[in-house]
Every structure is written in C-alpha cells, then in structure tokens.
Amino acid sequence: MLTFNGKKFNSRDFEKSVMDSVAQVAKDELGERFRSIRHPLTGEFPTVIIYGDDLSDMSMKVEGSKELLQHITEKISEEDLQNITLIEKEKRVSPKVFLSFGWEDKKLAENIAKKLLSNGIDTWWAEWEISSGDSLRQRIDDGLGVCTHFIVLLSPTAMEKPWVKQEMDAGLVRMLDKKCKFIPLRFDLPHNKLPPLLMGHYSPEITNEINLSQLINDIHGISKKPALGKTPISDELPDTGYSVAATTITKIFCDNSETGTSHDPMLTMKDLVEKTQLTKEDVEDGLYELRAFFTVQFDRVMPASELFVEFDKAFMEWEPEKDALRIASAILNDDNFPSSLNEIASKFDWTPRRINPAVNYLVNRSICRDDKTMGAHPWTQQWVNEKQEGAIRRFVKSRS
C-alpha cells in the first residue's frame, strides 16, 4: 500500500504538503532577500515579516527608518514591491547611564551599576571603563558624551570630592542642552543638604538594601500611572488602521486570550457575533480583512500569534515590539542573561500574556528560532535562541 507521511496515500494531502513546502521556501527566500538589504551609510537592516501560507495570497511588511525604506525602494523594482507594505519606524534610544560617585561609596556604586546593567540599562562605571594606560579625562568624556541619564550617588563624603563636582557640572550642562536627564541619588544625605542647584530635582534616597525598581522604570520610561481601564465594546475604538468591525474582533481576542499565543482563544462564528454585537456578515467581512491573522476551520476562528504582536499595543498596557527590543537588547548586552522564558519573565516581572507576544515578534521576523515544544504552556516556547548568528545584533543596532 502506498503511504505518505505515515498514512495511506491521499492525493489531496500530497498536493497540500507540496504546496505548503513550496510556499515556505518562497517565504524564506523572499524574506532573506529583503533582510539582507543594508543602508550603506547607517548600516541599518530592515525587520521583515511575511503573512500567508498560500502563494496566491501572500503579503509582506518591511519595517525600518525613513532612510532605509527609501534605499529599499531604489533597489527593488515597483513590480517586486507589490503586496509589500513599508512601515517607517523611528529608532529608539537605548538608555545609557553615566554613574558618578565618590570612591568611599565604591561598593554601593558597584551594586547599583550591576543592578542597572542586569535590567537592560547600559551603565558607565569607572571600574569597568578605565583600564591601565587610559586617559582618565578622555574615558570620562566618552562616557559623558553618550549618556542619556547622568546619575550621581551623593553622600556626605561624595559631596566634597572635586571630581564628583566636576562630573556633576558636565552632567548639568548636558541636561541643560536636553541631551540627558540628571538624577541625584541620596545616600545618608538629607534633602536639605543638597546643593541649591539640585534642590529642585527629584532625588530618590537609597540605603544599603538597594531597591531601584522605580528608578529602573523611570529610566525605561515606564509610567507610574495605572493602566487605563478597558472600555465597553460599544465605546469608541482606537485607530488600528482597520475597519471598526475588524478592530472590534481583534479587541475580543486580545481581551480574552490568557497566553497571547496562537489558537488562544478559539471562538465559533456564533461566539463572535454575540461578543461583538456585529452581524454575521460584518464578522465574516472583518475576518476576511484580517485573514493574515486568523485561521477559520469548521466554524472555528483561531488567531495566529501575530494577532497579539500587532494589536496588543491598542488594547493592552504594553507594546510587544518595545518588549521584544528590550529582550533582544538584554540578550546582546548581558552574557549571563537567561534564555528561559520563565526566567526572563521573572526578571522583568512580566506575565506569560505579556512576554509571549514579544517573543513571537522576534520569532515571526526570523530574529529568533521557533522552538515550540510540547509542555511549554503557558509560554509560547521554553527558550529564546537566536535564529542565525548576528540576527539579534542586527535587529538591536538597527532599532537603537
């Protein structure tokens, strides 16, 4: 008996398998063709995702800076750019801290520097940055010249150190030029003992029991403001670039998913009509508009992982793209950063619902490997691993 894939041969199954393989090869080749385009001056590479598994209904989204997208349109013919959406992305500035301190507070400063570094914040600390034979002035100037945040650890002894005062002067000048934020940290120093010029600055107080959670959140731009509550489905919807019907459908799935992964949740057409309060025809048209993000089989509507990557920013308190960049930056900058999703989530204090779309952002764009295995629930996969050498580096450097 003739068999195929361990089953009795079926011509339809055989044809589908062949066409799926052809489509995957086409997606891989097309994706690599665009991913390998590099801006000659900035060195930036694009981020690419391809939608669809059918050669007749395949589309692609290419993300990059305005300059890179212009370079791509000059290299690729108009015919080849059909069904390709070019999305302009502003580069994000990764936080870089210059840490100034008095040598008597060296141990505390080291603990602060390590804490910041382990939370994705590149930190200039003298012990790491200055080697034998280096010019002290040049190395300090280099650190000050690129910092986004100037942090000075102020204690009663540090307040009297000439070099701390000089570094503060440089940090204040950079702040006045709107090139960095100036953050005084107080250690065993009352607020009323601060120099008059710093009295108007918010100056957190720390102890030997270091808790820098709020400082880390402030540097990353994470607001203290509570998340905005979810509005009823009948209220005004955010502008997602899709129709009201399509946006309503995506809201239902984003709100009701427990893990932010494919097939979670699975709803029937009847479920969607009831939950969205749309007509059956509007639901069908909305799903057709969103066909790159859903699979419909036997009246079951199942989301793809990219749905949450694309729409969480509209309905949740996080943005998967920003979270993905934070994970990738941490992997690139910290050799000891964990690869286990469970450990990464614990490190960032993220739920599976938040981290899974961020990881799928990296997987769906061929930055990281798709290592899905049985038993990984509630994680989309157990580990985050680079798909090919240099993929994470190119992504981070092209976005920051």
Give the CATH number for residue 136. 3.40.50.10140
What pLDDT is recorded for position 229?
Answer: 53
CA distance 397 to 382: 26
Say if 372 falls within a structural domain.
Answer: yes
CA distance 388 to 36: 13
Q: Are residues 206 and 288 in the same domain?
A: no
Say if 214 falls within a structural domain.
Answer: yes
Q: Are residues 170 and 116 in the same domain?
A: yes
Task: Order across the sheet with 294-297: list the strands.
Answer: 267-268, 300-303, 294-297
**pTM for the whole structure:** 0.62
pLDDT tens-digit map of 274-325: 999 999 999 999 998 898 899 888 889 999 999 999 999 999 999 999 999 9
Q: Are residues 201 and 103 in the same domain?
A: yes
Nearest alpha carbon to residue 198 among 308, 100, 332: 100
Q: Are residues 103 and 215 in the same domain?
A: yes
What pLDDT is recorded for position 231?
Answer: 46
Say if 312 falls within a structural domain.
Answer: no
CA distances from 272 to 251, 283, 292, 315 (A): 11, 7, 18, 18
Q: Are residues 27 and 61 in the same domain?
A: yes
Say if 63 falls within a structural domain.
Answer: yes
**DSSP string computed for 35-49:** HT---TTT----EEE
CA distance 276 to 283: 8
Residue 252: phi and psi, rounded to 5, are -60, -45
Q: Are residues 208 and 255 in the same domain?
A: no
Name the one residue in this structure whose structure tokens are 């799928």: 360
CA distance 375 to 381: 9
Say if 160 falls within a structural domain.
Answer: yes
Structural domain that includes position 103 = 96-220
Query: Angle 330-187-123 (CA atoms, 0-180°, nearest 5)?
Result: 20
CB atoms inside a 10 Å sphere around CB 145? 12
Cα torsion 282, 285, 286, 292 to 10°: value is 160
What pLDDT is recorded for position 207?
Answer: 78
- Print burial letters for 11-42: b (CB count within 10 Å at least 16), e (below 16): eeeeeeeeeeeebeeebeebbeebbebebeee
Q: Are residues 69 and 14 in the same domain?
A: yes
Q: Are residues 84 and 107 in the same domain?
A: no
Say if 313 falls within a structural domain.
Answer: no
Please check whether residue 262 is in contact with residue 303, taking contact to mean a CB–CB distance below 8 angstroms: yes
Q: Which of 261, 282, 304 is the last residue of a domain?
A: 304
Give the helix/strand (H/E) hosting 50. strand 47-51
Question: Which residues of the chain are modeled with pLDDT < 70?
Answer: 1-11, 13-16, 18, 20, 55, 91-92, 208-210, 223-235
Q: Which of 58, 88, 118 is the last residue of a domain?
A: 88
What pLDDT is recorded for position 80?
Answer: 77
CA distance 171 to 165: 10
Say if 237 falls within a structural domain.
Answer: no
pLDDT above 90 covers a percentage of the chain that reads 45
CA distance 246 to 265: 16
pLDDT tens-digit map of 228-259: 554 444 457 888 888 899 999 999 999 999 99
Tell me how many domains the chain contains: 4
Nearest alpha carbon to residue 46 among 27, 26, 66, 21: 66
What pLDDT is recorded for position 235?
Answer: 55
Q: Are residues 83 and 100 in the same domain?
A: no
Please check whether residue 132 is in contact with residue 81, taking contact to mean a CB–CB distance below 8 angstroms: no
Q: Are residues 169 and 122 in the same domain?
A: yes
Q: Which of 24, 57, 88 is the last residue of a domain?
A: 88
Q: Are residues 194 and 250 in the same domain?
A: no
CA distance 135 to 101: 19
Q: Are residues 102 and 207 in the same domain?
A: yes
What pLDDT is recorded for position 230?
Answer: 46
CA distance 260 to 361: 12
Nearest alpha carbon to residue 253 among 166, 325, 315, 189: 315
Cβ-proximal residues to 57 (8 Å cutoff; 6+ apart), any chain: 291
Name the one residue in this structure whose structure tokens are 């066909």: 291
Name the one residue in this structure whose structure tokens are 């065993």: 188
Bridge-partner residues for 49, per DSSP?
61
Say if 235 falls within a structural domain.
Answer: no
Secondary structure class of 313 (helix, strand, coil): helix
What pLDDT is recorded for position 31?
Answer: 80
User: What CATH number is attached to the domain comprising 354?
Assistant: 1.10.10.10
What pLDDT is recorded for position 308?
Answer: 97
